[in-house]
Amino acid sequence: MASVSFEHVFKRFNKVEVVHDITFKIRDQEFLVLVGPSGCGKSTCLRMIAGLEEATEGEISIGDRVVNNLPPKDRDIAMVFQNYALYPHMNVYDNMAFGLKLRGTPKAEISQRVQTAAEILGLQPLLKRKPKELSGGQRQRVALGRAIVRDPQVFLMDEPLSNLDAKLRVQMRAEIARLHQRVQTTFVYVTHDQTEAMTMGDRIAVLNAGVIQQLGAPGDLYDYPANKFVAGFIGSPAMNFFEGAKLEQNGGVWLRLSEGVALKVPEDVAVRAESYIGRMVTLGIRPEHLEEGQAAKRRQGQENLSSHLVPVRVDVVENLGNEQMVYGVLGDKQVLARVDARSAIHPGDDIELYFDMQRIHLFDPETERCITSRPPEAESEPEIVSETTASTFERVEEVEKVEKVEVVEEVEETVTKTEEA
C-alpha cells in the first residue's frame, strides 16, 4: 500500500514528446483511472510507474521512494496487461507462482497464496490448465491472480478489459471493483473507455496530448468539466457543442444561437460569464439535459417556456426502449437529444427542444476553458478533505442560486402574461 506521485514528469521518444510536465499524486489505496483517447500518454504514464519506460525528466515516487532508477522487479508493483501476457507453456498455478518462485518464497507459502488468490477469483478448478484451454474471461482472471499473489504496493492495469466481449466486460468491471475493496491497495487503471472510468474510479485523470486535462471524482468531471475536451470526453453520448453563440445583455443575459433563436441564461450562470457579454462563446449541453418541448411543458405545467426552447428538425430517431436518441438539425448544426421513449417523434418532424439552462456549460472559444464551471482552485486539490469541503460548499451555493432563479423566472412569466392580456 503506497501512494504514487509524479513531479514534473516528461517523456520523449526521440523528439516526440508524449508526456508533458505531469504532476499529480495517486493516494494510498485509491482507485485512480487514467483515461483519454489513444496516444494521449496514459499507457506511457502507467509504464513509467512500472519501470518499463524511463521518465525523460522529472521524478516518480512510490511511497517515500523515488523509483526512477529502480528496475521493475524492485518497485513492488504488479501489472495486468491488455493481452494478459500469461506464460503459454505454464499452467495456471505455475503462472501465478512464477514471480513468487523467483523471489525465493518458500513452497508452502507459494501454494497457500496461490490457493487464496484462486479462491478469490474462482480459479480453483482451473489450476492445472494451460492458458490456451481457458476462455478470455478466465485468462483475465488468471492475470489478475498473478498480480494478487504478489501482494504488491500498487496494482497497475493497462486496459485489461478491452479484449473481452461487452457482456463479460461489464461483469469483470464489477469484479475488479470488488477486488479493489477486498485487497485495499492502490490501483492505477488505464482505459480509453469513459464508462469504465466513470464506473470504477475513485478519481479520474483525463489526459489529452500528454497533459492532464482534469483530475477529480467522476461526478465532478461530469458536472464541472474544466474544458471542452473533458466535457466532450466524459459522458455518453457525448455533449452537444454549439460554436459561435453570442452572449447578449437584453433585460437579463441571453445566449443567441442564431437569428431569432435565443436562450435565457440563468443568473448564476450569467454571473460567471459576465466578462464574456457581447462576445462569442461555445455552448455545451448534454443530450440528457435536452427534452422534447411539449413534454417539458406538460411536466412543468407551464405554457410559456420560449426562453428555453429551440426549434429543431428531426433527422434520425433511435428508440432504445427506455429512451429515444433524437438526432436533429439546428441551422447548420447537429444536435442529439436523449428524450422520453413515449414522445412520438418521427424523422422529418419539426419539434422544439427544451434546454435545461441550469445544466449548460459555456466555453471560451479560444482557450476552450469552461467559463461556467466552478473556480479552478477547487478543481484538483491534492487532499480529499479540502476537495470534499470545496465541492460541498459549491453545491450548497448552487442550490441557493437555483432557488433565486426560479423566483426570477416566475416574475418574468407574470410580466409576459400581463402583456398578453
Partner 1 sequence: MSTTQTTSGADSSAELALKPSGAAVAAGQRRTLAGQLVHALSSSTLTVIVVLIALLWSVPTIGLFVSSFRPHAAINSTGWWTSFFPPWQFTIENYQNVIQSQGLGQAFINSLIIAIPGTILPVLVGAFAAYAFAWMKFPLRDWIFLIIVALLIVPVQTILIPVQNLFADVYTSTGFGITGSYIAVWLVHTALGLPFAIYLLRSFFGALPSDLFESASIDGASHLRVFFSILLPLSVPSLASLVIFQFMWVWNDLLVALIFLGGNPDRAPLTVNIANLVNGSTSAPNYEVLTSAAFLSMALPLVIFFALQRYFVRGILAGSVKG
Among 28, 68, 81, 261, binds partner 1 (CB under 8 A): 81
313-321 LR contacts (CB < 8 Å, sep 24+): 313/348, 313/349, 313/350, 314/345, 314/346, 314/347, 314/348, 314/349, 314/350, 314/351, 315/347, 316/347, 317/345, 317/346, 317/347
Asked whether position 99 contacts partner 1 by CB under 8 A, the answer is yes
Asked whether position 171 contacts partner 1 by CB under 8 A, the answer is yes
Q: With respect to partner 1, which residue has the nearer C-beta, 161 or 269? A: 161
Q: Of the ranges 162-170, 241-249, 251-259, 312-320, which one interacts with partner 1 (CB under 8 A)? A: 162-170
Q: With respect to partner 1, which residue has the nearer C-beta, 130 or 246? A: 130
Q: With respect to partner 1, which residue has the nearer C-beta, 131 or 201? A: 131
Q: How far is the CB of 108 from partner 1 (least distance, A)?
A: 20
Asked whether position 85 contacts partner 1 by CB under 8 A, the answer is yes
Rounded to whole angstroms, how far apart are CA atoms 250 and 130? Answer: 72
Query: Please, which of residues 284-323 interact with partner 1 by CB under 8 A?
Result: none
Rounded to whole angstroms, how far apart are CA atoms 117 and 109? Answer: 12
Write phi, then psi, for 132 (nearest 5 degrees): -70, -15
Angle (deg, nearest 10), helices 107-121 and 136-149: 140
Asked whether position 87 contacts partner 1 by CB under 8 A, the answer is yes
Q: How far is the CB of 170 from partner 1 (least distance, A)?
A: 9
Binders of partner 1: how many residues, by CB under 8 A?
39
Site track 123-142 with partner 1 (rule: CB under 8 A), x = hit: -------xxxxxxxxxx---
Q: How far is the CB of 85 from partner 1 (least distance, A)?
A: 4
Rounded to whole angstroms, how far apart are CA atoms 153 and 328? Answer: 50
Asked whether position 178 contacts partner 1 by CB under 8 A, the answer is no
Q: Of the ranges 49-57, 199-207, 305-313, 407-415, which one interacts with partner 1 (CB under 8 A)? A: 49-57
Question: What percentage of the chain's residues is helix, strand, coil (to nearest 5)?
Answer: 40, 30, 30
| CB count in 10 Å sphere of residue 399 | 9
Q: Is the peptide bond before 237 cis (omega within 30 degrees of 0)?
A: yes
Length of the chain: 421
Which residues contact partner 1 by CB under 8 A? 50-52, 71-73, 77-79, 81-89, 98-99, 102-103, 130-139, 146, 150, 163, 165, 167-168, 171
